[in-house]
Structure 1
Amino acid sequence: MPHKIVFMGTPDFAVESLKQILESGIEVAAVVTSPDRPAGRGQQVKMSAVKTFAQEQNLRVLQPEKLKSDEFINELKTLNADLFVVVAFRMLPEIVWDMPPKGTINLHGSLLPQYRGAAPINWAVINGDQQTGATTFFIEKEIDTGKIIDKVTLPISEEDTAGSIHDRLMVKGAELLTKTVNNIFEGKVEAIAQDQLNLDTPLKHAPKIFKADCKINWSHSTKTIHNKIRGLSPYPTAWTEIIDNKGKKKSLKIFNTRYKIDEQNNTGKILENENGVFFGTNNGWIQLLELQLEGKKRMSIDQFTAGFNFKEAELVLQ
């Protein structure tokens, strides 16, 4: 009898994994994804990226509101899947993850046990790490703590953003996950408990990021601010406040920057010259490259300065 899986996921990051799993010939009995929700300014009902792709592949799609409902649990049981595979989905109750005979595995966007939590890619860039990766592991009761199956590493350059790492890790992670599923079915997996790993550095965490966490404090160091901006780009996006020449305070999102360290305290200063626009930090300058003023679209600095005079503006420090 061929082995079967149930795939669970929601966003674009999960689509690549489902795609590569299907291309490898693994049978997908069903796809579980989030219910359709109103989205955008028009609040039109929108399907998840995983549902859209699954329907294109003529796969069975389940969209439970409640993961513990009798209807959903009974439907899962009738599928007789050997393994559940989870990528960027909701936290599963034990009655679900403990169901399949070969267990339930998850793909996580970090080198576990580092960066357990909801935003591992963002925090790795924010913290200025030079390396990240993806991990496959068996789901257990505590989130992101199950036995590790396999890993893949990925370098982080100074030019990378959370967005660029997301896109590369999406592909690398999908390759790792497909390899892991095949190895489980072939009996080639020897999982290791996370508490048996010898770590050279203390554990770093990756909690969910809220809007207040994205506000820039210009009294911080240049590198800290630059890393925060790229670690939150393109989403949820670092932001600050600026007072325009009419005395109005406005929110300003910043997507892309360069930096210069000069060891002078320039906190809160604004410099605009032939080389560009710069915001001061406690030891240098942040050069603005892409930004978005509230109520406006995202622009390059050249487009932005065509309609905004920074020389008459004031930066709100924090």
Structure 2
Amino acid sequence: MQGKDLRIVFMGTPDFAVASLQALVEGGYNVVGVITAPDKPAGRGKKLHQSAVKKYATEQELTVLQPEKLKNPEFLGNLKALDADLQVIVAFRMLPEVVWDMPRLGTFNLHGSLLPNYRGAAPLNWAIINGETKTGVTTFLLDHEIDTGKILFRKEIDIWENDTVGSVHDTLMDIGAKLVVKTVDALAAGNYDAISQEEIVEEGEAIKHAPKIFKEDCKIDWSADVETVRNLIRGLSPYPAAWSTLRHKESGKEIATKIFMAMRVEDNKHTAPGTLESDGKNFIKVACTNGWLQITDLQIAGKKRMKVQDFLRGFQQIGEYTFL
């Protein structure tokens, strides 16, 4: 059997998932239904916001289901009526067994890491935050525990020195879409070897995890070394963004500040971490415990993201502040 003969149900929500759905649709695969998150109020007017996957699926006139609860009997009935041979999951939520075990060929997931490392909600972020030089995508069959099922295929890429989570996201989104198509074809033909994740883990190796990222995880600790701080900034740019607080040295006024990009600079002066230096026109440097970083892109509360040169034109008193 060929992949295009299968009845496929696709499940996903954000932009990362759209590329895979698009690859299936434009490749002529039979996507009989799309499952995505319910519309949610967003913005000042609290208008209902559709997921990126729903927008694309609607444009393609695909059947869309948006269950609040995946064990809802009505949803399960509607899902069963789609009579899928295979379910494809990309950036969706955890599925109950009654859902992932429904199709005759099962359900596979595209995950943004080289499993078994970086299981969890934020694999791209944590790989960069931890200073990895390689990452990738993995397709695997769903099992009872999250991100632990048998591996079908993996594709590795390099993480370059100035990559951010944004650039890696875009690269893996496209590579992942191709891997999804390859996996569908392999499952249809029965041409694959499903490998247990335990077989890949070397003896004594500790598996790295990728838990959900919260606001406190994004706070910059300037007393860390330069590379640790730079990796945190890269691993959170553009979203959710690393942050710090500018404090006025005399008044104590504090301004929340997001930092999107910074680069190492040669400076042998040793001073307190968080100390800030600027010429008031072109640069802002911040001291870490063993060196300095030069900020190139930032955003203070109530303003838009901007280059440092544009920021300094409207914030000429920067020398009166320090970073906490």
For the aligned pair, the TM-score class normalised by the smaller chain equals: over 0.9
Deviation at 1:244, TM superposition (A): 3.2
What residue number does 1:294 align with? Answer: 301
Deviation at 1:264, TM superposition (A): 5.4
* Whole-Å separation in 1 of the counterparts to 2:158 and 2:76: 40
Among candidates 133, 137, 140, match of residue 134 of structure 1:
137
Deviation at 1:263, TM superposition (A): 6.3
Q: Mind listing any 5+ residue stretches in structure 2 that lack a counterpart?
A: none
What residue number does 1:314 align with? Answer: 322
* Whole-Å separation in 1 of the counterparts to 2:81 and 2:213: 38
Q: Does residue 199 of structure 2 align to residue 196 of structure 1?
A: yes
Deviation at 1:250, TM superposition (A): 1.1
- Equivalent pair of 1:9/1:50 in contact (CA under 8 Å): yes
- Equivalent pair of 1:264/1:283 in contact (CA under 8 Å): no
Indicate the SS of the match to 2:166.
helix
* Whole-Å separation in 2 of the counterparts to 1:258 and 1:120: 23
Deviation at 1:198, TM superposition (A): 3.8
Q: Does residue 278 of structure 2 align to residue 272 of structure 1?
A: yes
1:99-150 CA distance string (max 9 Å, x none): 1110100000000000000000000110111110000000001000000000
1:142-162 CA distance string (max 9 Å, x none): 000000000001110111000
* Whole-Å separation in 2 of the counterparts to 1:149 and 1:268: 46
- Equivalent pair of 2:112/2:138 in contact (CA under 8 Å): yes
Aligned residue identity for 1:233: S
Q: Does residue 255 of structure 2 align to residue 247 of structure 1?
A: no
Among candidates 252, 256, 265, match of residue 261 of structure 2:
256
Q: TM-score, normalised by structure 2?
A: 0.94
* Whole-Å separation in 1 of the counterparts to 2:68 and 2:93: 11
* Whole-Å separation in 1 of the counterparts to 2:323 and 2:69: 46
- Equivalent pair of 2:282/2:312 in contact (CA under 8 Å): no
- Equivalent pair of 1:33/1:48 in contact (CA under 8 Å): yes
More off after superposition, 9-18 vs 190-199 = 190-199
CA RMSD of aligned residues (A): 1.5
What residue number does 1:92 align with? Answer: 95
Total equivalences in the alignment: 316
* Whole-Å separation in 2 of the counterparts to 1:92 and 1:179: 23
Among candidates 215, 218, 235, match of residue 214 of structure 1:
218
Indicate the SS of the match to 1:306.
helix
Structure 1 runs (4+) deviating above 2 angstroms are: 198-202, 244-247, 260-266
What residue number does 2:38 align with? Answer: 35
Q: Residues 63 and 103 from structure 1, CA distance in 2 versus in 1: closer, same or farther, beyond 3 angstroms? A: same
Deviation at 1:262, TM superposition (A): 5.0
Q: TM-score, normalised by structure 1?
A: 0.96
What residue number does 2:53 align with? Answer: 50
* Whole-Å separation in 1 of the counterparts to 2:253 and 2:245: 10
Deviation at 1:256, TM superposition (A): 0.9
Q: Residues 260 and 199 from structure 1, CA distance in 2 versus in 1: closer, same or farther, beyond 3 angstroms? A: farther
Deviation at 1:187, TM superposition (A): 1.1
Indicate the SS of the match to 1:208.
coil
1:159-207 CA distance string (max 9 Å, x none): 1000000001000011011110111001112101101114384211100
- Equivalent pair of 2:19/2:173 in contact (CA under 8 Å): yes
* Whole-Å separation in 1 of the counterparts to 2:18 and 2:207: 29
1:193-229 CA distance string (max 9 Å, x none): 1011143842111000000110001100000000000
Aligned residue identity for 2:39: D
Aligned residue identity for 1:5: I
* Whole-Å separation in 1 of the counterparts to 2:103 and 2:16: 24
1:54-96 CA distance string (max 9 Å, x none): 0111100001111001101111111111001000001101100
1:13-68 CA distance string (max 9 Å, x none): 00000000112221001000001110122211111000000011110000111100
